[in-house]
Copies of this chain bind each other. A is one copy, B any other.
Amino acid sequence: MDFQLSDDQRALRAGVRELLAGRFGRDRMRAALDAGTGVDRALWRELGEAGFFALRLPEAEGGVGLGLPEAVLLFEEAGRSLLPGPLIATHLAAGPVKGAAQGEAVVAVLDAGQPVAHLGEADALLVLGPGDGRGVPEESATVREAATVREAADPVRSIDPFTPLWRVAEPAEAGEPLPRDGRLRTEGALLAAAEQLGSAARTTEMAVQHAGAREQFGAPIGSFQAVKHLCAGMLVRAELARCAVYAAAVTADPVEIAGAKLLADDAAVRNARDCLQVHGGMGFTWESDVHLHLKRAWLRSGQWLTAAAAEEVLAGNLC
């Protein structure tokens, strides 16, 4: 047993972090926010070239041939950097959907009852089967063209400025069946958990940085226990979520993935909340990045596997 990152995994993580810092650092991120850019097609292709989407495709099929643990490291970095776009769906569609692996296609996801993120920019739609994560086995997903679905869809004013949402009618006709093994929902949940982990770790850093720099009452606010203990709680949440997410990536066990999603959702939302509290009034401004983490964390909590469904999976596992 060696439950630590391998040298290759560390190198992979460092590479993605560097790529995102260069291509989607804070200035570009805020510029994209101001411009209302959802998916930047050029960046999407660069992500494709970097193997973001083809990561788990076999090398024989033009992929990188890596596994879920490596994918989790990538999506953790995406969560840290607030990278927008339907990354998970496009990653899951790599292979079956033409162009997804290369970042030529943008693939969004349709999960019944949920608004569709980035429908306006998507080429194709992954339609999840009705498996609800509560023991009902997941049915095979299908693929549809985005354009036809968009015709009967209405844009929603999204709470997350980086994630445009569309409300769609339930799809009447079936799409193309996907030659996958019915694990899309659980894999999606795991990758969303990885994004949440990245966000939770990032807001911890932001809170610590602010607490060390901001002075009130003649001292850095981080020297007051009230602030100090908020930050400590954030680290604990992020680190426990990290172990849950990494282990779930190694085992790919649906129960472990449910636990990872539950803890990572919790860590992302509560850490963003605490980060905002540590930032005080400054955290309440649009200028601050804290709210971008919080809003995305809220959205992700409702996607792929909700807390209620995850808790039922985890309870069912006890018997």
A229 to chain B, nearest CB (A): 6
A22 to B226, CA, bound (A): 41
Considering only residues 212-226 of chain A, those with a C-beta below 8 Å from chain B are 224-226
Residue of chain B at shortest CB distance from A226: B225
A229 to B229, CA, bound (A): 11
Could you say which residues of chain B place their CB within 8 Å of the CB of A229? 226
How many positions in chain A have a CB within 8 Å of any CB in the partner chain? 4
Considering only residues 181-224 of chain A, those with a C-beta below 8 Å from chain B are 224
Residue interface bits A253-287, CB-to-B below 8 A is 1, else 0? 00000000000000000000000000000000000
Residue of chain B at shortest CB distance from A224: B225
A236 to chain B, nearest CB (A): 15
Residue interface bits A215-244, CB-to-B below 8 A is 1, else 0? 000000000111001000000000000000
Residue of chain B at shortest CB distance from A229: B226
A256 to B229, CA, bound (A): 36
A141 to chain B, nearest CB (A): 38
A224 to chain B, nearest CB (A): 6
A229 to B226, CA, bound (A): 8
A225 to chain B, nearest CB (A): 4
Could you say which residues of chain B place their CB within 8 Å of the CB of A224? 225
A205 to B271, CA, bound (A): 33
Could you say which residues of chain B place their CB within 8 Å of the CB of A225? 224-226
A226 to B225, CA, bound (A): 6
A226 to B228, CA, bound (A): 10
A111 to B225, CA, bound (A): 46
Measured CB to CB, the residues of A under 8 A from B are 224-226, 229
Instruction: Pull 5 A–B residue pairs with CB atoms less than 8 Å apart, ordered by A.
Output: A224-B225, A225-B225, A225-B226, A226-B226, A226-B229
5 cross-chain pairs, A with B, having the tightest CB-CB distances, nearest first: A225-B225, A225-B226, A224-B225, A226-B229, A226-B226
